[in-house]
Amino acid sequence: MILTEESTNQIREKASQYPQRKSAILPALTIAYRQVGHLNDDIYKEISRVIRVPHVEVAEAATFYTLFPKQPVGKYLIQVCHNISCALLGADSLVAYLEQKLGIKKGETTPDKLFTLVTVECLGSCATAPMMQINQDYYENLTREKVDGILEELKAKA
Amino acid sequence: MFYSPVITNATEAVSNDRLHLLRYAEDPDQHKIETYEAHGGYVAWKKAMNGMSPEAVIEEVKKSGLRGRGGAGFPAGVKWGFVPKDSPKPRYLICNADESEPGTCKDRVIMERDPHAVIEGMAIAAYAVGCHLMFIYIRGEFNHCIGRMETANEEAYAKGYLGKNIHGSGYDLEMIVHTGGGAYICGEETALLNSLEGERGMTRIRPPFPAIEGLYACPTIVNNVETLVSVPHIINRGGDWYRSMGTEKSTGTKIFSLSGHVKRPGNYEVEMGFSLKKLIYDPAYGDGILGGKKLKGVIPGGASTPLLTPDMIEVKLDYESLAEVGSMLGSGAVIVFHEETCIVWVIQRLIHFFRHESCGKCTPCREGTGWLEQIIRRIEQGLGKPGDIETIEEICGNILGRTICPLGDAAVMPIQSAIKHWREEWQYHIDHKKCQVKSNYEFR
């Protein structure tokens, strides 16, 4: 079993709220993602057993949604918005700066498995651009100085 | 505790009580139910369920002229009136909080800072259409909104604003906070319905419209966050009060998310019909262009709306005025860019997004957005060929109006406007294999 008892109970509880159990697929994927950090077919199978919908239906839905990484990522998943409002204020140079600081390219994970760097579409933080999301949190109005501080803090916490 | 750093004009709203959407946005305790109640919260909900018939609620909202704030601008009260009165099926209400139109960050601020206003608006709308189970579909990235809405939901149940026999009215209303998976298309209401049913977020052919056959094939109303948040104020102060603001056909107030090359980006609530120029240049709002540079263009209503040139910014911000200059109010996301911005680069960003977010259901959009991105990226990289502009125009013409949902149109309209207004610059990019303007998109 990959899912903990706590996650399983949360999923079961969520599924009981909906008029149709299949509606619990996305919430279940979210709960599993928060626990594991990514999703895979074994997780789809476990979810399918918990909410009692066919495995293929869970996999079918899961593969549509880009929020959930489908393979393991670093402890900190850095998602830089590169859509228009952020791009106008330097999202590309922010990505380049992060690549240089972390010593990896976009799409890669640091050898110590601490950071994965990716770009994503608009995160609804347009008036506080440029921005990035790291795991659950938004970091906004970014400057080089702020980025340095954030990375230091995360490294210290890890 | 978390507090998003967006600039709002909430201070102005405290002294100008016509502004109501962001009025308490700067109060750090507004998300708590006690503070919300102290500011007059849930009064409208009590008034509606105890003193008004569902028909009277719909009439008041129709009278207000409130139109959908998600982008389409359809009158909310009219939409509610489409729910069949004699249907034996359950009815559902869904608050569309899948905010993801590039440039738009208003619903996020509302949910984070004033989550009970969302619940109150939803409850009144649910009552109006005879719904006993309502949903809020929040985009999955908005973790803080989700947390705030979940807590607010628990508080509302604990205080008896949701649940069985609400405040002795005999009315039952349950609410589920549902989260999405990071798909722009799920902001389109039929894709949202599929997504909420646990399917891939692909659109449905309309008719039947969701008001007749929506979630689980039952009558369903889908409204945007900002639309619903306006409803309690309409119930409290009346439809006539609401329509005394704004213009004749675009009534009330609207939050504009101002972003890009302005000195004071932020969320500003203004009456409909407000001047775009004032929003960009007035010190109380955008305060002008970054670095004192010259304005080059504006995307007035989010990434899917046609672009405006500097000579068009005298336009008023309402549905009709923007339509007159060939654009749209959309979600109210005003994205500003200055003279040191390459138009091909801007459009390449946008088409990359639409290609990424096309659900793949219809061929013109699935294939067309891919072709467009390839050609536009090629031009941007200095590899454009003679005839590329004409090819882009032809592809655009084959997408526009030929897709099930508006994503295809949304992808095409900004491109068509950018070629119309800046054709020379596109041609220069192809002929000289580089940008016509010196651009600089460095972050600080």
Instruction: Calculate how close chain A gets to B104, using CA atoms only, in Å.
Output: 6
Say if B301 is an interface residue toward chain A (CB within 8 Å). Answer: no
- Asked if B341 and A88 come within 8 Å (Cβ–Cβ), the reply is yes
- Asked if B197 and A87 come within 8 Å (Cβ–Cβ), the reply is no
Output the pLDDT for position B2. 53
Cis ω on the peptide bond leading into residue B283 (within 30° of 0)? Answer: no
Output the pLDDT for position B3. 61
C-alpha angle with apex B409: B407 to B414, nearest 5 degrees? Answer: 105
Q: Note down pLDDT in tens along chain B; length 444 residues.
A: 456 678 888 877 777 888 899 999 999 999 999 999 999 999 999 999 999 999 999 999 999 999 999 988 999 999 999 999 889 999 999 999 999 999 999 999 999 999 999 999 999 999 999 999 999 999 999 999 999 999 999 999 999 999 999 999 999 999 999 999 999 999 999 999 999 999 999 999 999 999 999 999 999 999 999 999 999 999 999 999 999 999 999 999 999 999 999 999 999 999 999 999 999 999 999 999 999 999 999 999 999 999 999 999 999 999 999 999 999 999 999 999 999 999 999 999 999 999 999 999 999 999 999 999 999 999 999 999 999 999 999 999 999 999 999 999 999 999 999 999 999 999 999 999 999 998 878 887
- Asked if A83 and B102 come within 8 Å (Cβ–Cβ), the reply is yes
Strands A76-81 and A115-120, how do they pair? parallel
* Mean pLDDT, residues A71-89 taken together: 97
Output the pLDDT for position B10. 80
- Asked if A124 and B261 come within 8 Å (Cβ–Cβ), the reply is no
Instruction: Calculate how close chain B gets to A145, using CA atoms only, in Å.
Output: 9
- B76-86 in b/e form (b: 16+ CB < 10 A) is bbebbbebeee
DSSP A71: S
What is the side-by-side strand order in the sheet with B333-338? Answer: B266-271, B253-260, B333-338, B295-299
Nearest CA in chain A to B267: A127
* Mean pLDDT, residues A49-74 taken together: 96
Say if B198 is an interface residue toward chain A (CB within 8 Å). Answer: yes
Instruction: Please state, in angstroms and as integers, the Cα–Cα distance from residue B150 to each residue in B165, B225, B354, following that order.
Output: 21, 15, 31
| Residues of chain A contacting residue B180, judged by C-beta atoms under 8 Å apart | 26, 65, 67
Output the pLDDT for position B8. 85
**Type of residue at B215:** L
| Residues of chain A contacting residue B183, judged by C-beta atoms under 8 Å apart | 64-67
Say if B279 is an interface residue toward chain A (CB within 8 Å). Answer: no
Of A65, A120, A122, the CB nearest to B183: A65
pTM: 0.96
Of A20, A61, A124, the CB nearest to B200: A61
Instruction: Calculate how close chain B gets to A112, using CA atoms only, in Å.
Output: 26
**A158 SS3 class:** coil
Output the pLDDT for position A8. 98
Say if B355 is an interface residue toward chain A (CB within 8 Å). Answer: no
- Asked if B105 and A127 come within 8 Å (Cβ–Cβ), the reply is yes
**Residue of A97, A122, A137, A141 to mutate for B, most B C-beta atoms under 10 A:** A122
- Asked if B442 and A125 come within 8 Å (Cβ–Cβ), the reply is no
Output the pLDDT for position B18. 86
DSSP A129: -
- Asked if A126 and B184 come within 8 Å (Cβ–Cβ), the reply is no
Output the pLDDT for position B1. 41
- Asked if B103 and A90 come within 8 Å (Cβ–Cβ), the reply is no
CB pairs under 8 A between A and B: 174
| Residues of chain B contacting residue A125, judged by C-beta atoms under 8 Å apart | 105, 108
Nearest CA in chain A to B339: A88
| Residues of chain B contacting residue A77, judged by C-beta atoms under 8 Å apart | none
Of B183, B196, B356, the CB nearest to A23: B196
Strands B133-138 and B174-179, how do they pair? parallel
- Asked if B105 and A126 come within 8 Å (Cβ–Cβ), the reply is yes
φ and ψ at A65, to 5 degrees? -100, 125
Strand pairing partners for B335? B259, B299
DSSP A8-54: HHHHHHHHHHSSSGGGGHHHHHHHHHHHHSS--HHHHHHHHHHHTS-
